[in-house]
Amino acid sequence: MSTQTSELLAAAAPRTVDVVRGISDDQLDLPTPCQDYLVRDLLNHLFQVVVNFQDLAEKRQVEWAEKPDHLGDGWRDRFEAETGRLVAAWSDPSTLEGVSPGMGMPQPVIGGMALLDLTVHGWDLAVATGQPYHPAPEAVAELHGLVEQLGPTARKMGVFADPLPTPTPDLAPDLAHLLTQTGRTPTWPQTP
């Protein structure tokens, strides 16, 4: 990544935090663009990403198998606090050195994965709950190369769906292209 990971995370985080704060309790069972994920499931996944990638910044092992429920009292405030910790965790330039012992990939890629989840899942949650979403343009620009790099493996693992043609929706073209490369339909939900 040509821009410091923490700067990109700092630009992206408030936008996703705003979306999370805008989710009402009665929206937790709505579907999302992530197949088989309701809003509550995606929130719990994003919480786990934000927490685990703090440890990954420090090159510590993380546990992905556990699926804790993060949506107890004060979950919106906790999400904002944990997201702030994520940005801080990646602010030391040494976090970008070497290879992640738990993930087996270069640390800059790991930081980019945190940015990708924060940005794309911010969009997922926004469209699922009828909120506007304007991702950080500098984050979206940086993520194109990462998605191209990770795409083949991510598709084999079922993390990304097959890429789709990029339509010309009422979205910024860079965001629409990023979404289609992860297998998302920028015009979600589709009307029959």
65 DSSP 8-state letter:
S
CA 26, CA 129: separation in Å to the nearest integer?
10
pLDDT at 156: 76
pLDDT at 158: 73
- Read off the pTM: 0.91
pLDDT at 117: 95
pLDDT at 101: 87
CA 136, CA 17: separation in Å to the nearest integer?
13
pLDDT at 167: 66
pLDDT at 138: 95
The list of the chain residues with pLDDT below 70 reads 1-3, 167-172, 190-192
Q: By 3-state DSSP, what share of the chain in percent is helix, strand and coil, each rounded to 5?
A: 55, 0, 40
pLDDT at 1: 47
CA 25, CA 29: separation in Å to the nearest integer?
9
pLDDT in tens, 61-104: 888 888 889 999 999 999 999 999 999 999 999 999 999 987 88
Alpha carbon distances (Å) from 111 to 41, 69, 73, 77, 155: 23, 24, 29, 23, 20
Token pair, residue 125, equals 């949650």
Token pair, residue 13, equals 């985080």
Alpha carbon distances (Å) from 127 to 38, 93, 145: 12, 34, 24
Residue appearing with tokens 């999370």? 20
CA 149, CA 185: separation in Å to the nearest integer?
20
